[in-house]
Amino acid sequence: MEKRKIEIMDTTLRDGEQTSGVSFAGQEKVSIARLLLEELKVDRIEVASARVSEGEFKSIRKVAQWAKNRGYLDKIEVLGFIDGTASVDWIINTGCRVMNLLCKGSLRHCREQLRKTPEEHLEDIKQVISYAQRKGVDVNLYLEDWSNGMRHSEEYVYLIMDNLKDLPIRRFMLPDTLGILTPDETADFCTRMIRRYPDVHFDFHAHNDYDLAVANVFEAVKAGVKGVHVTVNGLGERAGNAPLSSVIAVIEDHLKMKTNVREKSIYHVSKIVESYSGIRIPANKPVIGDNVFTQVAGVHADGDKKNNLYFNDLLPERFGRSREYALGKTSGKANIMKNLEALGIDLDEETTKKVTARIIELGDKKEIVTPDELPYIISDILKNGTENQVIQLLNYSLTLTNGLRPTATVKIAIKGEVYEQTAAGDGQYHAFSKAMYKIYRSLNKPIPELLDYMVVIPPGGKTNAYVQTIITWRFEGKTFKTRGLDVDQTAAAIKATMKMLNMIENKTIPTFNYMQLP
């Protein structure tokens, strides 16, 4: 038996743009329209409301011209109003040819907002539809506030439908305008509409005020509606609309139906719209959030190694993504091994244990250690080894004040004796070094020479990435390097410095002078 296909109408450029603070530029609208129709393959897009502004008019003309050149003009829709000829003319002048006519789907809206009787409202609707037909504009019809209409004035809804169902209206669109419906109500109300008007094409338009938009779409499709409305990333007024990503997954996996949407493009398009809109995608947003395909607990990674015990049907590859295994304080050996496999790194058992222990230690400093940082941690372990901590850093304080030189106060213990000094420098690490040198001079201890200071940051541009500081020293004719790893560059340099001082104190400087200096 062939799967039933559900029509997807995306309204990111109209309803989604009603998100507080979101306004797409003309070229951004063209770009998003292209992504939705050519890359995602949605069936239709709603791009604007008629008569909003001169800027909107120019933007929609650009979209319409692009759509006409690409053969998509019948997929471009504009919200229109019961305003005589004004909306229809505005739509025609943009170059568009489909109007989504906004009518009143509840008696209260009809009486109190329009201050008209149902009969008067019906007459106004018919006049607009007649004019649109004469001008060659196709009409879909929104029953605004339909959910309240079904709750409180069901006979009014049927009166409107009975008088309009035989007119040239391609789709009747049922909005939960205020996001008030429960899944049970959605199923009930949609079923009543479909049973009473079996030959009508119904769309369902959900809002997410109670976080039930996707659940309500599920029930509407199950009841038999033929189309649903979505937005990329769930953009929309107040709590937003039903997110395209979740709706597609639910239709495919739970309803066992299909759409024309290309799943592999969902993440890519979502990230571009995130950039254009300035509205960040929550890290835990299903399908498209940064963390949703990341296993954190070590037991889950272990289960994935044993016949994918913690997989579900939402395989990341479907959506152009990949599964990751987080590295942090809850990591186990299985997480580490999964990441090492992905990086092509093979470690012995003892080193793997050390890496695991270090990641757990570092995980207390930040939530996640990224796979990009793993090679730096391994390098830190392999090249630094462990030293007898004859010299211990007990405490330090760094200050950076605009207009004043940075200062550092350092307290260390050398073989149990405590020393403290304060110094100013040209930078925080320079101030730390000068304070340390003060202590060493007071003890007549020899002072090494710093030859080179290099900072390496993993790719990805994250501001909380671990920093590896590599410092080259010369002491008693020997040149050697020490490394420090931390989320703070100065802290990493301090770790490298303490490593160097303990190597000198323990006389464990490499005997091989691998850097020939003039």
Give the C-alpha separation, 258 to 304, whole Å. Answer: 28
Contact 64, 73 (CB under 8 A): yes
The residue assigned the tokens 């568009």 is 96
- Alpha helices by DSSP H, listed for 178-326, are 183-196, 213-223, 244-253, 266-277, 298-305
Active-site residue, from 46, 56, 77, 144: 144
**306 by DSSP, 3-state: which?**
coil
Give the C-alpha separation, 190 to 171, whole Å. Answer: 14
Q: At a CB cut-off of 8 Å and minimum separation 6, what does 79 contact?
A: 14, 46, 48, 49, 50, 99, 100, 102, 142
Q: How many helices (H) and strands (E) does the chain have?
A: 17, 16
Report CA-CA distances (Å) from 408 to 41, 386, 483: 60, 27, 21
Order across the sheet with 478-486: list the strands: 449-456, 467-475, 478-486
- Has 252 been annotated as catalytic? no
Residue type, 288: I
Contact 78, 47 (CB under 8 A): yes
Active-site residue, from 14, 44, 97, 321: 14
Give the C-alpha separation, 151 to 161, whole Å. Answer: 16
Q: Which long-range contacts (CB under 8 A, 24 or more apart) does 52-57 make?
A: 55/26, 57/90, 57/93, 57/94
- Has 38 been annotated as catalytic? no
Strand partners, 419: 412
Supply 34's token pair. 């292209």
Contact 324, 293 (CB under 8 A): yes
Residue type, 239: A
Give the C-alpha separation, 305 to 342, whole Å. Answer: 13
User: Which residue numbers are catalytic?
Assistant: 14, 144
